[in-house]
Structure 1
Amino acid sequence: MTDDSSDRIVAAVRRWLADAPPGARLPSTRQLVAEHAASPVTVQKALRALAVAGAIESRPGVGNFVRESRAVRSTDHGWQTAALGAPRAVLPRIAGALRAAPEDAQALHSGYPEPGLLPARLVRTALTRATRGGAATTRPPAAGLWELRAWFAAEIAGVTPADHPAPTGNDVIITPGSQSALTSAFRALVPPGHPLLVESPTYWGAILAAHQAGVHLVPVASDAEGPVPDQLDRALRETGARAIYVQPTYANPTGAQWSARRSIDVLELARHHGAFLVEDDWAHDFAIDTEPRPLAALDPTGHVVYVRSLTKSTSPSLRVGAIAARGPVLDRLLADRAAESLYTSAVLQQAALEVVTDPGWRSHRRRLRTQLRERRDLLARSIRDHAPSLTVDHLPAGGLHLWARLPDGTDLDRLVRACEDRGVWVASGDEWFPTEPAAPFLRLNFTGPDPASFPTAAASIQAAVESL
């Protein structure tokens, strides 16, 4: 019997429950088997699903019964206000990119690729192997599995100049995704209340992590090549900041990739001022027209703290990332990670290692490059042809998003709601600015489901703009 058979039994029992009084006894398993021509296993699966949903309760040895309804009473939690006191940090609201859109909506707001762009077979096979091996029952080292740490290090070493020291696995800590790595980096590098320089706009998750760490964000203007050196130099001098958060490769949200000259200039400024650069290489696996150029590969003196994640490129459920650094800061980072989560799941680490060392991983990334280019170009063309109110100044050479400017004065909250009313979910660009937004923008994901509907979605956004 298939899952469909179980679903049909669940639906049939729910119809019976609609007319049954609380406490009524359900037909026996034998009766349900005969009535629905199903196997006992299928019937038991359906009954478990109903019990989990709270529709029935099972009494072993007695039978299954309609669950008694419980009176809903409001509870006074007022005492908690005084007990909690003032929050340690006022956190921004959860970004719109994490909202779940209806199944029939055109989802352009997400920060993740749709499942069809992920190596699903590799991930499932790797998870199966990992759960059958020693990783399922052993505690990994606090810094992570050595083989996975060495893989992350080798990726950077592969593009490190011959006259620079190449990183090793000893320079890497495995983390449960990049978000926790960013929080640890900010806590380790910046005392509470002290400044952290960031590009503007910048990744909303980094803004959230900075608030969580209690540090003060100072925006620095950027252009298509990266942070403007003169302004970065002035900000470092005026604030005394000792850490800068950057995304040199396919920045989220703009998609910008730093030029080689700009990378060198920013590294020189960091060295001159004795500052760390927290490099978030989030889109390393989403190259389209160029190749990733990690700053960490150009840094022989330990100024770069490098953060890399496999979550977006493998599976949202495979939350595995890494943070690489040299010198005393590495010990401080490891201490922070251990204090927060002790270690990262060995099963997830082993599965991630299986995926990235499988020959199919390279084949997948080659296919993905072509798929990303086709989707990026289709969405950009759809905006140009069907949403003339939007302006995309920069076609990203990698990443997942287009950064589209709206007419000055656009009410973004109203526009987002108007788009949703038309079945199109978009992300408000305001969430990517650490302070007041410079202009109204939308961040649009070109790796969501149903790319054939991009022209229709663009026309709907244009209609929403015109309706304001």
Structure 2
Amino acid sequence: MGNDSAGRIESALRSWAGTAPPGARLPSTRALVAQYGASPVTVQKALRKLSALGIVETRPGVGTFTRSVRPGSPADFGWQTAALGTPRTRAGALSSTQRASVPDAIQLHSGYPARELLPERLVRAALIRAARTDAALTRTPASGLPALQAWFASQVAAATPPGLAPPSPREALIIAGSQSGLSSIFRALVGPGQPLVIESPTYWGAILAAEQAGVVLVPVPSGPVGPEPEEVERAFALSGARAFYAQPNFANPTGAQWSRETGQAVLDIVRGRNAFLIEDDWAHDLGIDTDPAPLIGHDHDGHVIYLRSLTKSVSPAMRVAAVIARGPARDRILSDRAAESMYVSGLLQSAALDVVTQPGWTTHLRAVRQQLKTRRDLLAESLRDGAPDVDLHQLPPGGLNLWARLPDGTDVHHLVRECESRGLIIAPGTEWFPAEPSGPHIRLNYSCEDPARFPDVGRILHQAMSLAR
């Protein structure tokens, strides 16, 4: 009943605000409680929704008012159509995962973990310490802080078998998040009009970065243990590509982890083709049932271009990552990064290094591993109990997401709208396919919402699915 009352109050106040002058004061919460026969919590819920929509503004200690500034007549931007010409890609400006938060909704669309899964105490302390050093006032080398380069290189060295030389610190380039690294790699090593083999489905940001770079995508299907090596070989042979973008560990969106045999076979194919494997290890710190096994540890001659980001495991505000590359490829990527952004904030680099070298970092990762497992299992149970028609390909051994196949004939975008109208925000799976989707899918992030709300997810999905076929 509370939700219905909040909606009723919101609708009434929205109508009132539409006719009220700018800056008009709304009745007090006490007056609204009496007027609508609702609780103070319900009234506040309606006011928060109106504030989020930009209809009213709250001034602490004074009251709530209609927005003082009203939009004028719309500007005519038609001239820009001819000035800009045809866009290079038809992709939307923002992914569904980047949508702003919706008050009170169950939000499973985000690409990031909840705040309580981040090492907040370590991050805050590290930023304070970094601000007291010269890093707050000086620029860093274009390739990054030497100490942070050495840390990323040491992480790969730990996965390198005896007898193979691990990368040197110089071969680790610090970048402002792996997304910028992908853009540079695609521009520097592939180039406009050139083919790039890519898993399907795969990370939507990689698809977008490749399209913006003018790269021609050559998709290969990828399952719970990665792509079939024969499909990878065929894609290289037919396209003449010289690079393959892949996520061998805890892929976004599927959570898949390549088998050891698949990884070795793909490496052999890449070597035989004199090509590059662009290994995106975005979820290195987010293993649940297994640990990551980076393929770069088995690369001795520069075929693997490796990306690892700290954004998901340390903080979304700390856009720090690394590309590890050897030979001329390293120099080309560095040149592109220097032209794009010159260097990465030394303050953020210093703080990131501080966090990952603290004794509490390892303790934090162990705790997060168990919390991710609990959340993953609770959300999967909700789907099994409430929406048995939703098929989970597998329980992912790591990462942040469940990848769910819907019954054939489901209108995914209609389903997303129906779920949102019932207070559940999810991401349509269409964004993760570089070509036509192989079927109707959705992606659900089990790390970004209070797991106490998961029991409602299956029920809402079941209701919405009955209207989306």
What's the TM-score bracket when you normalise by the shorter of the two chains? 0.7 to 0.9
1:394 aligned counterpart, secondary structure: coil
1:301-340 to 2 correspondences below 5 Å: 301-340=301-340
* Aligned amino acid, residue 329 of structure 2: V
Rounded to whole Å, the distance in 2 between the matches of 1:177 and 1:16 is: 42
Q: What is residue 6 of structure 1 aligned with on the other side?
A: none
Q: What is residue 440 of structure 2 aligned with on the other side?
A: 440
- Tell me if structure 2 keeps the 8 A contact 1:389–1:465: no
Provide, for residues 143-186 of structure 1, a one-character-per-residue CA deviation record: whole Å limited to 9, x for no partner. Answer: 01011111000000011011111112100110100100011111
| 2:239 is the alignment partner of 1:233 | no
* CA root-mean-square deviation: 2.1
- Tell me if structure 1 keeps the 8 A contact 2:22–2:68: no
- Tell me if structure 2 keeps the 8 A contact 1:91–1:212: no
What is the deviation of 1:100? Answer: 1.9
- Tell me if structure 2 keeps the 8 A contact 1:90–1:211: no
Rounded to whole Å, the distance in 2 between the matches of 1:107 and 1:55 is: 25
Q: What is residue 245 of structure 1 aligned with on the other side?
A: 245
Q: What is residue 18 of structure 1 aligned with on the other side?
A: 24
Provide, for residues 372-391 of structure 1, a one-character-per-residue CA deviation record: whole Å limited to 9, x for no partner. Answer: 11111111111111111101
What is the deviation of 1:77? Answer: 2.9
| 2:417 is the alignment partner of 1:414 | no
1:385 aligned counterpart, secondary structure: helix
Relative to structure 1, the CA distance from residue 68 to residue 290 in structure 2 (aligned partners, 3 Å threshold; closer, same or farther) is closer
Q: What is residue 202 of structure 2 aligned with on the other side?
A: 202
Q: What is residue 366 of structure 1 aligned with on the other side?
A: 366
Provide, for residues 341-395 of structure 1, a one-character-per-residue CA deviation record: whole Å limited to 9, x for no partner. Answer: 0011111111101100111100000101111111111111111111111011211
Rounded to whole Å, the distance in 2 between the matches of 1:318 and 1:220 is: 33
1:161 aligned counterpart, secondary structure: coil
1:186 aligned counterpart, secondary structure: helix
Rounded to whole Å, the distance in 2 between the matches of 1:464 and 1:93 is: 27
Relative to structure 1, the CA distance from residue 243 to residue 92 in structure 2 (aligned partners, 3 Å threshold; closer, same or farther) is farther
Q: What is residue 396 of structure 1 aligned with on the other side?
A: 396
1:312 aligned counterpart, secondary structure: coil
Q: What is residue 33 of structure 1 aligned with on the other side?
A: none
Rounded to whole Å, the distance in 2 between the matches of 1:80 and 1:364 is: 50
Q: TM-score, normalised by structure 1?
A: 0.85
* Aligned amino acid, residue 457 of structure 2: A
* Aligned amino acid, residue 193 of structure 1: G
Q: TM-score, normalised by structure 2?
A: 0.85
Mind listing any 5+ residue stretches in structure 2 that lack a counterpart?
1-20, 26-55, 60-66
Q: What is residue 297 of structure 1 aligned with on the other side?
A: 297
Rounded to whole Å, the distance in 2 between the matches of 1:89 and 1:422 is: 33
| 2:215 is the alignment partner of 1:215 | yes
- Tell me if structure 2 keeps the 8 A contact 1:101–1:425: no
Q: What is residue 62 of structure 1 aligned with on the other side?
A: none
Rounded to whole Å, the distance in 1 between the matches of 2:457 and 2:440 is: 19
Rounded to whole Å, the distance in 2 between the matches of 1:194 and 1:90 is: 19
Relative to structure 1, the CA distance from residue 439 to residue 89 in structure 2 (aligned partners, 3 Å threshold; closer, same or farther) is closer
Q: What is residue 280 of structure 2 aligned with on the other side?
A: 280
Mind listing any 5+ residue stretches in structure 1 that lack a counterpart?
1-14, 20-52, 57-66
Rounded to whole Å, the distance in 2 between the matches of 1:88 and 1:71 is: 32
1:35-434 to 2 correspondences below 5 Å: 72-434=72-434
Relative to structure 1, the CA distance from residue 71 to residue 458 in structure 2 (aligned partners, 3 Å threshold; closer, same or farther) is closer
- Tell me if structure 2 keeps the 8 A contact 1:202–1:433: yes
What is the deviation of 1:87? Answer: 2.9
1:307 aligned counterpart, secondary structure: strand
Rounded to whole Å, the distance in 2 between the matches of 1:267 and 1:380 is: 33
What is the deviation of 1:428? Answer: 0.5
- Tell me if structure 2 keeps the 8 A contact 1:175–1:321: yes
Higher Cα radius of gyration: 1
* Aligned amino acid, residue 443 of structure 1: R
2:258 aligned counterpart, secondary structure: coil
Rounded to whole Å, the distance in 2 between the matches of 1:137 and 1:298 is: 39
What is the deviation of 1:327? Answer: 0.5
Rounded to whole Å, the distance in 2 between the matches of 1:78 and 1:419 is: 35
